[in-house]
């Protein structure tokens, strides 16, 4: 029996990007050298607007928007960033707050976008988080990348440590031809480097743990 999956027209093109992204991940784990554009040890100055749905304290549905200026440690401008995120899920295994983010990076010579899941509980403790990067305009168009960041202990809501790794050449070759394709590719690449959203629990059930981050008295 023939089965039609009705896949989007460019699914195969998007899947082919995985090879280039895997090579970039290997570079990040080793020494990128001249094969990539590396921005390490960056300082991210964050202006955060956080909205609580059920104050006080964090809860499902909370959302934030933020504007960031990303600079080198010496104060040289690298990019600006506009982002927004929302707490969408409480991970069943450990009660961690799972947030989904979208960001737009504006470089002096082009633009890029990021998206991915973030462990909202782990980042409060200072853990690094990572998003995939896809160049969308100007000289950045067609590039692949990885963005990593974490809050600083001194100013956790206003200053982040940050790193950017971008391919030195364009890799997408027209695969991202619509907002939907961009979103699917970011989700695909994010599944490789973002935290696990829904790992299997010991019980096999996906209810929040008894002592969860959102438990109410």
What domains are defined for the chain?
11-193 (2.40.480)
- Euclidean distance between CA atoms 20 and 146, whole angstroms: 12
Neighbours of 188 (CB within 10 A): 16
The pLDDT tens digits for 91-128 are 888 889 999 999 999 999 999 999 999 999 999 999 99
Q: Contact 101/113 with Cβ under 8 angstroms?
A: no
**Tens-level pLDDT at each residue, the chain (217 residues):** 456 778 777 888 888 899 989 888 888 877 666 567 889 999 999 999 999 988 887 888 999 999 999 999 999 999 999 999 999 988 888 889 999 999 999 999 999 999 999 999 999 999 999 999 999 999 999 999 999 999 999 999 999 999 999 988 787 877 888 999 999 999 999 999 999 988 888 888 777 665 555 544 4
Nearby residues of 207 by Cβ (< 8 Å), 6 or more positions away? 92
Length of the chain: 217
Neighbour count for residue 5 (Cβ, 10 Å): 5
In this structure, are residues 36 and 20 in contact, taking their beta carbons and an 8 Å threshold?
A: no
Q: Measured between alpha carbons, how far is 205 from 70 in angstroms, rounded to an integer? A: 42
CA 42 to chain centroid, in Å, comes to 17
Distances in whole angstroms, Cα of residue 142 to Cα of each of 134, 147, 181: 7, 16, 13
Contact 55, 69 (CB under 8 A): no
Cα–Cα distance measured from residue 74 to residue 149, given in angstroms and rounded to the nearest whole number: 18
Nearest to 112 by CA among 10, 182, 19: 182
Q: Which two tokens stand for residue 182?
A: 């961009």
pLDDT digits (tens, 9 = 90+) for 152-168: 999 999 999 999 999 88
The span from the CA of 200 to the CA of 28, in Å, is 28
What is the rounded distance in angstroms from the CA atom of residue 174 to the CA atom of residue 189?
17
Rounded Cα–Cα distance for residues 113 and 31 (Å): 24
**pTM, two decimal places:** 0.89
What is the reported pLDDT for 35?
61
Start-to-end C-alpha separation, the chain = 55
d(CA 15, CA 5): 16
Sign of dihedral through CA atoms 30, 34, 76, 143? negative
């Amino acid at each position: 029996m023939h089965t039609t999956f009705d896949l989007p027209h460019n699914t195969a093109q998007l899947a082919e990007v995985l090879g280039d992204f895997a090579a970039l991940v290997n570079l990040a784990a080793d020494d990128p050298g001249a094969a990539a554009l590396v921005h390490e040890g960056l300082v991210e100055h964050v202006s955060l607007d956080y909205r609580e749905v059920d104050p006080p304290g964090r809860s499902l549905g909370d959302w934030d928007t933020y504007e960031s200026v990303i600079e080198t440690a010496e104060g040289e401008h690298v990019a600006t960033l506009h982002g927004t995120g929302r707490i969408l899920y409480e991970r069943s295994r450990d009660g961690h707050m799972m947030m989904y983010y979208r960001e737009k990076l504006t470089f002096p010579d082009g633009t890029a976008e990021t998206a991915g899941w973030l462990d909202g509980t782990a980042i409060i403790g200072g853990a690094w988080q990572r998003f995939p990067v896809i160049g969308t305009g100007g000289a950045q168009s067609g590039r692949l990348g990885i963005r990593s960041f974490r809050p600083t202990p001194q100013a956790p809501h206003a200053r982040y440590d940050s790193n950017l790794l971008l391919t030195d050449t364009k890799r997408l070759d027209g695969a991202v031809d619509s907002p939907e394709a961009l979103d699917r590719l970011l989700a695909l690449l994010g599944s490789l480097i973002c935290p696990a959203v829904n790992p299997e629990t010991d019980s096999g059930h996906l209810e929040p743990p008894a002592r969860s981050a959102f438990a109410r008295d």
